[in-house]
Amino acid sequence: MAGKMRADEVISQEDPYKASARITSGKLYTGQFKNRMILGGFDVVYDCVGTRKTVQDSLRWARAGGTVVLAGVSLKPMHVDLTPIWYQEVDLIGLYAHGMEEWNGVKQSTYDLTMDLLLKKKLQIDGLVTHRFPLEQWRTAVQTAKNKNSGAIKVVLDFRRASG
């Protein structure tokens, strides 16, 4: 989907550390205990998953003085090596749901801005909603969203559709 949405780079089969070093012209270092880090990585990394592994990787892919935006949430305690925060002065910023945005001189909520852009057909979303279920099938919808092999990107409960 990222390729269809015209992403500059899509990393799927390549080792993500090697790919990050290649894309950013950074240098991949492997430490004494097999921990890896990119020197000269990305300016900003958005972690939209929020697991221990993705947070740790994101911190190691950001350049010195860069930023990791934690948008995804895993509601479990986790142990993460925070070395890049103090050693490389990487900023870790949390993001939850929505806020206020200024767009074309107008301050509005993220949801209002998004709806406006959707209604004006200024956002390309074709293919992002991969599954739709009527409300009565909410259990199936949740299982589909959780199943890594379902191909789900965005699962929607459609209140307009009735099953049966």
Mean pLDDT of 129-143: 94
Considering the domain boundaries, does residue 11 fall inside one?
no
Longest dimension (CA), the chain: 60
Answer yes or no: do 86 and 28 share one domain: yes
Question: Is the pTM here over 0.95, yes or no?
Answer: no
Number of independent structural domains in the chain: 3
| 44 pLDDT higher than 80 | yes
pLDDT-derived band at 125 (thresholds 50, 70, 90) equals confident
pLDDT value at residue 58: 97
pLDDT tens-digit map of 137-151: 999 999 999 998 998
**Helices 52-61 and 16-24, axial angle in degrees (round to 10):** 30
Answer yes or no: do 22 and 90 share one domain: yes
Answer yes or no: do 118 and 134 share one domain: no
C-alpha distance from residue 8 to each of 17, 23, 137 (Å): 17, 10, 37
Among 22-31, 52-61, 108-117, 154-163, the minimum mean pLDDT is found in 154-163
pLDDT value at residue 161: 64
Mean pLDDT of 100-126: 88
Answer yes or no: do 25 and 89 share one domain: yes
| 163 pLDDT higher than 80 | no
Answer yes or no: do 116 and 160 share one domain: no
Range of the domain at 142: 127-164
Answer yes or no: do 84 and 103 share one domain: no
Q: Which residues of 138-163 are buried (b: 16+ CB within 10 A; e: fewer)?
A: eeebeebbeeeeeebeebeeeeeeee
Answer yes or no: do 66 and 132 share one domain: no
pLDDT-derived band at 88 (thresholds 50, 70, 90) equals very high
Mean pLDDT of 62-68: 97
Three-class DSSP labels, 146-163: HCCCCCCCEEEEECCCCC
pLDDT-derived band at 136 (thresholds 50, 70, 90) equals very high
- Residue 124 CB burial class (10 angstroms; 0-12, 13-18, ≥19): exposed
Provide the CA 50 distance to its chain's centre, in angstroms.
8
Answer yes or no: do 37 and 88 share one domain: yes
